[in-house]
Amino acid sequence: MKVLAIDFGTKRVGLAVGDTELGIALPKGVLKNDEHLIDRLYKIIHSTGVSRVVVGLPLTPSGREGQRAREVREFVEKLKGRLGDIEVVLWDERYTTLEAESRLRELPPKRRRELLDSVSAQIILEEYLQSR
Protein backbone atom coordinates (compact mmCIF):
# COMPACT_ATOMS: atom_id res chain seq x y z
CA MET A 1 0.00 0.00 0.00
CA LYS A 2 1.26 3.48 -0.84
CA VAL A 3 1.55 5.91 2.06
CA LEU A 4 2.15 9.66 2.08
CA ALA A 5 3.77 11.27 5.12
CA ILE A 6 3.29 14.94 5.93
CA ASP A 7 5.49 17.11 8.13
CA PHE A 8 3.14 20.06 8.68
CA GLY A 9 4.60 23.50 9.21
CA THR A 10 3.08 26.95 9.25
CA LYS A 11 5.11 28.03 6.18
CA ARG A 12 6.16 24.77 4.50
CA VAL A 13 4.83 21.23 4.45
CA GLY A 14 7.29 18.40 3.87
CA LEU A 15 6.20 15.28 2.01
CA ALA A 16 7.50 11.74 1.72
CA VAL A 17 6.05 8.72 -0.03
CA GLY A 18 6.52 5.08 0.78
CA ASP A 19 5.21 1.58 0.43
CA THR A 20 4.17 -0.74 3.25
CA GLU A 21 5.14 -3.88 1.31
CA LEU A 22 8.61 -2.66 0.40
CA GLY A 23 9.13 -0.80 3.67
CA ILE A 24 10.76 2.16 1.94
CA ALA A 25 10.23 5.90 2.37
CA LEU A 26 11.52 8.59 0.02
CA PRO A 27 11.33 12.38 0.31
CA LYS A 28 8.80 13.85 -2.13
CA GLY A 29 9.39 17.57 -1.75
CA VAL A 30 7.86 20.56 -0.02
CA LEU A 31 4.64 22.49 -0.53
CA LYS A 32 3.93 26.04 0.52
CA ASN A 33 1.37 26.19 3.32
CA ASP A 34 -1.28 28.47 1.86
CA GLU A 35 -5.00 28.44 1.04
CA HIS A 36 -4.40 25.88 -1.77
CA LEU A 37 -2.54 23.31 0.36
CA ILE A 38 -5.43 20.87 0.87
CA ASP A 39 -6.30 20.92 -2.85
CA ARG A 40 -2.67 20.30 -3.84
CA LEU A 41 -2.41 17.42 -1.36
CA TYR A 42 -5.66 15.96 -2.69
CA LYS A 43 -4.27 15.98 -6.24
CA ILE A 44 -0.98 14.39 -5.16
CA ILE A 45 -2.73 11.69 -3.12
CA HIS A 46 -5.11 10.74 -5.90
CA SER A 47 -2.60 10.94 -8.74
CA THR A 48 -0.09 8.68 -6.95
CA GLY A 49 -2.54 6.08 -5.61
CA VAL A 50 -1.92 6.77 -1.93
CA SER A 51 -4.17 4.74 0.39
CA ARG A 52 -3.07 6.17 3.73
CA VAL A 53 -1.70 9.50 4.95
CA VAL A 54 0.53 9.77 8.02
CA VAL A 55 0.78 13.23 9.57
CA GLY A 56 3.45 14.06 12.11
CA LEU A 57 2.06 15.20 15.46
CA PRO A 58 4.52 17.54 17.21
CA LEU A 59 4.40 16.54 20.86
CA THR A 60 6.48 18.15 23.56
CA PRO A 61 9.45 16.14 24.91
CA SER A 62 7.20 15.01 27.79
CA GLY A 63 4.58 13.74 25.31
CA ARG A 64 2.03 16.51 25.77
CA GLU A 65 0.25 18.43 23.07
CA GLY A 66 0.90 22.13 22.75
CA GLN A 67 -0.26 24.81 20.33
CA ARG A 68 1.53 23.29 17.32
CA ALA A 69 -0.15 19.93 17.93
CA ARG A 70 -3.55 21.66 18.03
CA GLU A 71 -2.75 23.33 14.69
CA VAL A 72 -1.85 19.95 13.21
CA ARG A 73 -5.10 18.44 14.49
CA GLU A 74 -7.08 21.28 12.85
CA PHE A 75 -5.22 20.67 9.58
CA VAL A 76 -5.91 16.92 9.81
CA GLU A 77 -9.64 17.52 10.26
CA LYS A 78 -9.72 19.69 7.12
CA LEU A 79 -7.68 17.10 5.22
CA LYS A 80 -9.96 14.24 6.32
CA GLY A 81 -12.97 16.23 5.16
CA ARG A 82 -11.46 16.59 1.68
CA LEU A 83 -10.08 13.05 1.33
CA GLY A 84 -13.17 11.08 2.25
CA ASP A 85 -12.33 7.37 2.61
CA ILE A 86 -8.53 7.69 2.68
CA GLU A 87 -7.25 6.96 6.17
CA VAL A 88 -5.31 9.73 7.93
CA VAL A 89 -3.11 8.69 10.87
CA LEU A 90 -1.35 10.94 13.38
CA TRP A 91 2.21 9.92 14.26
CA ASP A 92 4.47 11.17 17.06
CA GLU A 93 7.16 13.22 15.34
CA ARG A 94 9.30 14.13 18.34
CA TYR A 95 12.95 14.62 17.36
CA THR A 96 12.42 14.05 13.62
CA THR A 97 13.73 17.52 12.78
CA LEU A 98 16.88 16.88 14.83
CA GLU A 99 17.38 13.57 13.01
CA ALA A 100 16.82 15.26 9.64
CA GLU A 101 19.33 17.99 10.51
CA SER A 102 21.83 15.29 11.45
CA ARG A 103 21.33 13.48 8.14
CA LEU A 104 21.79 16.71 6.19
CA ARG A 105 24.66 18.25 8.16
CA GLU A 106 27.22 17.75 5.37
CA LEU A 107 25.20 19.82 2.90
CA PRO A 108 25.51 23.57 2.38
CA PRO A 109 23.06 25.59 4.54
CA LYS A 110 20.80 26.60 1.64
CA ARG A 111 20.43 23.01 0.43
CA ARG A 112 19.80 21.82 4.02
CA ARG A 113 16.91 24.29 4.37
CA GLU A 114 15.46 23.13 1.04
CA LEU A 115 15.47 19.46 2.08
CA LEU A 116 14.80 19.62 5.82
CA ASP A 117 11.00 19.38 5.74
CA SER A 118 10.82 16.54 3.23
CA VAL A 119 13.53 14.57 5.05
CA SER A 120 11.60 15.10 8.30
CA ALA A 121 8.53 13.65 6.55
CA GLN A 122 10.69 10.75 5.35
CA ILE A 123 11.75 10.01 8.93
CA ILE A 124 8.13 10.14 10.13
CA LEU A 125 7.25 7.63 7.43
CA GLU A 126 10.27 5.39 8.15
CA GLU A 127 9.26 5.21 11.82
CA TYR A 128 5.66 4.47 10.87
CA LEU A 129 6.64 1.71 8.44
CA GLN A 130 9.05 0.15 10.95
CA SER A 131 6.29 -0.03 13.57
CA ARG A 132 4.03 -2.13 11.34
Average pLDDT over residues 76-97: 94
Asked if 16 and 26 count as a contact pair (C-beta separation under 8 A), the reply is yes
pLDDT at 132: 80
Question: For the chain, which residues make up each domain, given as ranges?
Answer: 2-131
Average pLDDT over residues 95-111: 89
pLDDT at 89: 97
In CATH terms, the superfamily for domain 2-131 is YqgF/RNase H-like domain (3.30.420.140)
Say what the pTM is.
0.93
C-alpha separations of 97 from 113, 124, 125, 128, 129 in Å: 11, 10, 13, 15, 18
